Amino acid sequence: MTAVPVCPQRSQHRGPNGAGTSTLVLTVGGVLRPTAGTIAVGDVELTRRRPEQIRTAGVAIVPEGRQLLPNLTVEENLRVATYALGRQDARSGIAHALELFPELEKRWRITARSLSGGEQQMVVLAQALVSRPRFVLVDELSLGLAPIVVQRLVPTLEAVATTGVGVLLIEQFAHVALGLAQTAYVLERGRIHYHGTAQRLKDEPELLQSAYLLRNVDPGGDALDTLL
Ligand SMILES: Nc1ncnc2c1ncn2[C@@H]1O[C@H](COP(=O)(O)OP(=O)(O)O)[C@@H](O)[C@H]1O
Ligand SMILES: [Mg+2]
């Protein structure tokens, strides 16, 4: 998948670090319109397609903020995400999501607003994964979640990646992303500031120092450092 270089319209969105990551995710997902550049999966151009067309082409996004339909149940929120699928695919997609997040089964008839942050994150991840995408872009997986919850989610994303799904994880905590990733990108103001192996960033953390990524994070004292 390629997404180069995207220069979106002014977004209402104001991220904590202004690197342009949420804008990138929303633009790839068709929520924002790029003013220049192209988005493609292989030879299939997705630039300026509608969100549902992008989803059908195998690209799912998990926007920041765990936005669910608060008055609908977990089941209903997942069913909404399968609306473009045939009955068979919808059924197998939901079964697949429940294999990844078995915890959701006992919360099945609970309204989304009553879930914990970690459960809500599971539902939005499940919404993206029910359509069995080839690529999934996850914006701020760990934001506002306790480290133990992040520890629960990380192996599932790793398992999804192992099945051949391309996972782009946007993370304020570099160690969470670098522990999972093969390739790392550092974005600054919407431009790729660094691109290389995740291992190299782990070996040479000074490469991150100039980036926004660690601007508000103490690399030594962060609780999530102990994760990986
Ligand atoms: N490629 C870009 N070109 C121009 N402005 C951008 C670009 N990407 C982001 N911005 C602007 O920068 C601000 C922060 O972007 P955002 O995507 O929220 O950053 P992040 O999620 O990394 O904190 C937004 O106001 C957005 O409109
Ligand atoms: Mg953001």
Residue 59's CB: how many other CB atoms inside 10 A?
Answer: 28
pLDDT at 227: 36
Give the residue from 67, 63, 65 showing the smallest Cα distance to 29: 63
Adjacent-strand bridge partners of 192: 187
Q: Which of 10, 11, 187 to mutate to test the pocket of ligand 1 (most atoms within 8 A of CB)?
A: 11
Q: Give mean pLDDT, residues 107-127.
A: 98
The segment with the largest mean pLDDT, out of 32-36, 122-126, 166-170, is 122-126
Section 110-137 average pLDDT: 97
Structure confidence at residue 210 (pLDDT): 62
**Mean pLDDT score, 114-126:** 98
Alpha-carbon torsion angle 69, 55, 126, 158, nearest 10: -140
Q: Which ligand is nearest to the CA of 11?
A: 1
Domains identified in the chain, total number: 1
* Token pair for 42: 């292989």
What would the pLDDT profile of 169-225 be if each residue is shown by its tens digit? 999 888 888 888 999 988 877 888 888 899 998 898 887 776 644 444 444 434 333
Closest CA to 188 of 159, 220, 215, 224: 215
Tokens of 25: 């995710």
CA of 126 to the centre of ligand 2 (A): 20
Residues in Cβ contact with 145 at an 8 Å cutoff, skipping those fewer than 6 apart: 117, 118, 121, 153
- Which residue segment(s) compose the domain that 205 sits in? 2-227
> Which range (93-97, 121-125, 144-148, 220-224) has the least confidence?
220-224
Select from 128, 116, 196 the least CA-distant residue to 167. 128
Tokens for 30?
């068709």
Contact 215 CB / ligand 1 (< 6 Å): no
CB 164 within 8 Å of CB 88: no
Query: Is 1 strand, coil or helix?
Result: coil
Query: For the purposes of burial, counting CB atoms within 10 Å of the CB of 111, is it exposed (0-12), middle (13-18) or buried (19 or more)?
Result: middle
Residue 126 main-chain phi, psi, to 5 deg: -60, -40
State the CATH number of the domain containing residue 208. 3.40.50.300
pLDDT per position as a tens digit, 13-57: 444 567 889 999 999 999 999 988 899 998 899 999 999 999 999
Mean pLDDT for the chain overall: 85
* Cα(72) to centroid(ligand 2), Å: 26
Chain centroid to CA 181: 13
Q: Write down the pLDDT at residue 14.
A: 44
Evaluate if pTM is beyond 0.85: yes
CA 201 to chain centre: 20
Is the CB–ligand 1 distance for residue 13 below 6 Å? yes
